[in-house]
Copies of this chain bind each other. A is one copy, B any other.
Amino acid sequence: MAGILRNYADYLPVTKNTPGLTLHEGSTPLLFAPRLSERLDLELHFKYEGLNPTGSFKDRGMVMAVAKAVEEGSHTIMCASTGNTSASAAAYAARANINCFVLIPDGHIALGKLAQAMIYGAKIMAIKGNFDEALSIVKEITSKESITLVNSLNPYRLEGQKTAAFEVCDDLMGAPDILAIPVGNAGNISAYWKGFNEYYQSGVIDKLPQMFGFQASGAAPIVRGSIVQNPETVATAIRIGNPASWEKAEEALESSRGLIDEVTDEEILEAYHLLASMEGIFAEPASAASFAGIIKLKQQGRIEAGKKVVCVLTGNGLKDPDSAIQKAAVQPWKVNNDYDEVLNAIRQLAGDSHGVV
């Protein structure tokens, strides 16, 4: 209960010189979903990573990367990011009392997406160029100066992220049959697979799960087998056309006899809405790609009834309130300040949903 570096030190590159950095990341809920399990005839659990300190799974990898940066004497970290990575990097840099620089492409970036990084004190620079060019210059600078790269090319990121697989197994007292996960940069599916394998090799679990990855249809390079030049999807956290961990992900899919498939934005938003309205779980749209994929495959008869399935929900729905508003907003039902009128409205709005008002 005090962060992943302490909880899983034996499985991580933690030495006696690694600082005990933590914002109490990890130990996120694995929620059994009774209503959705019944509806789909599966044993469905959700790994809700939105309750990490900055609201996404990125905190697991970032605490490891920043701790190692500090251990190695670095005073500055840097990344190219317009979203969850920059928020997480900025938070752990603040906690560790080091500098954090975030490089973004110039133009078209809503300040709201950067609000977290800014309030945590990161310095933001906008470069004339696209995201790939921003990443490219970050790589060049961090390779030549005493500044640490914390984009997903930093190998400590995956080390930290694999702890989510440990937690799933610890909570279930074993591995699930299927681990379903959204795939953007493909680092997380690779990290989970690494985690499951380490637990298997240590004898903590006696079987490995199948890895099911899901990309958004408008950003599905691995499904299609080729780079997507202009990826587009409502699931912004997985809007990536050329995944950094493509090969590692392919290996995880093959070794686990898993699969990769795509889900449309409509399917993602429908799954997103079901999660909130039937189980009380509010996740980022990208998170719901995992569950949308499971719904699709089950309906196609490609998953046997009764399977134990864990869907990874990578981020908090509060990261993207606009999607919630667009999906669920209806103008409030207007009523006069009158007992009978309010009661009448309640009866109409409740309909037959639970039979009793």
Contact = CB atoms under 8 A, between A and B. Distances in A.
A304 to B, nearest CB: 26
A62 to B, nearest CB: 10
A48 B334 CA distance: 37
Interface in A41-92: 48, 51, 53-55, 75-76, 78, 90-92
Given A127-B337, A333-B124, A24 B31 contact: yes
A333 B118 contact: no
B115 A329 contact: yes
A355 interface: yes
Majority SS at the chain A contact face: mixed
Interface in A291-342: 316-319, 321, 324-325, 327-330, 332-339, 342
B357 A23 contact: no
Interface string A222-239: 000000000000000000
23 contacts: A23-B280, A35-B97, A53-B281, A55-B316, A55-B318, A75-B355, A95-B279, A98-B354, A99-B353, A99-B357, A101-B350, A103-B342, A112-B325, A114-B329, A118-B325, A119-B282, A120-B280, A123-B350, A124-B330, A125-B335, A127-B337, A127-B342, A145-B357
Interface of A: 1, 23-24, 27, 29, 31, 35, 48, 51, 53-55, 75-76, 78, 90-95, 97-99, 101, 103-104, 106, 109, 111-112, 114-116, 118-121, 123-129, 133, 137, 140-141, 145-147, 273, 276-282, 316-319, 321, 324-325, 327-330, 332-339, 342-343, 345-346, 349-350, 353-357
